[in-house]
Amino acid sequence: MVAVFPVGKLVYLGVKQISKPIARALQAYARRNEFMRLYVCSPPAQAYHKLQVFVRMRLMGSQAPVEVQRLSEDKAVQMGSELLGELMLFAVGAGLISYEYIRSAQKAKEKEVAQDDHIVALSRRVYTLENELKSIKVGLENNKMSETSKSEMSEVKPK
């Protein structure tokens, strides 16, 4: 059997490689665009920073409420654009994994359907063969009966 060239894996690798420069371009665009800086990059970065400081303080054992200073706008935009780039890479990876899972599940379903069809075909063939065997048995019994009745008739011939 000839090995199949893994086109799907090649496409997966290509999309993954292409998504990295796209993520970097998206980061650069987010740093330049006012709307992206204020409403897309900065809020998630500030929330991430607060969560990071809160978790770090809890891990060190501090039970007191923590007042977290906001990141500067430049740091928030940089962190937010990095988060956006990572989110894009993650989304591409998750999409490709989902696609691969759906494709393999579909292949498994097709294989199962083919096996079911084969089983049904074999069951029909067995049923047909059983019927043929019954008809052959009936024919043999009829043939035996006719031979025994002929032999009985030949023995009873008047002299």
% of the chain surpassing 70 pLDDT:
89
Residue 148 has pLDDT above 90, yes or no: no
Higher per-residue confidence, 24 vs 8: 24
> For position 153, what pLDDT does the model report?
67
* pLDDT confidence bin for 50, thresholds 50/70/90: very high
| 8 A C-beta contact, residue 22 and residue 92 | no
Phi, psi of 136 (to 5 degrees): -65, -40
Average pLDDT, the chain: 84
Q: Is 128 exposed, middle or buried (0-12, 13-18, 19+ CB in 10 A)?
A: exposed
- Mind listing the pLDDT tens digit for each residue in 92-113? 888 888 888 998 999 999 999 9
| Those residues with Cβ within 8 angstroms of residue 114's Cβ, 6 or more apart along the chain or in another chain | none
Q: Is 35 exposed, middle or buried (0-12, 13-18, 19+ CB in 10 A)?
A: exposed
The C-alpha atoms of residue 67 and residue 52 are separated, in whole angstroms, by 12
> For position 1, what pLDDT does the model report?
52
* pLDDT confidence bin for 4, thresholds 50/70/90: low
Q: Is the pTM of this model over 0.75?
A: no
> For position 112, what pLDDT does the model report?
96
Residue 47 has pLDDT above 90, yes or no: yes
> For position 70, what pLDDT does the model report?
92
The C-alpha atoms of residue 90 and residue 23 are separated, in whole angstroms, by 10
Higher per-residue confidence, 7 vs 77: 77
Residue 157 has pLDDT above 60, yes or no: no
